[in-house]
Amino acid sequence: MAQAAVLPASTPVTIPLNELLPWAVFAGVILLSLLYLVGMDQGATSLISGSMLHEFVHDGRHLLGFPCH
């Protein structure tokens, strides 16, 4: 029988915090923007005029539990 070769154990790569922080801030800004667009935009205080955005995310609002009527 042939003997199995032993592979060296791989070590995880550490990511420094100063490289991770800008991506975390970017993701937070994107997520907060999406939360505003889906949950808080009622039309009266809308950053985007018209009711097209409200109608586009209407079902998503109900799915997430935001009242809109």
Place of tokens 């990511």: 15
User: Quick one: how far is CA 40 from the chain centroid?
Assistant: 16
pLDDT of 25 above 70: yes
3-state helix, strand, coil in the chain (%, to 5): 50, 0, 50
pTM of the model as a whole: 0.55
pLDDT for res 1:
57
Q: What is the pLDDT of residue 26?
A: 97
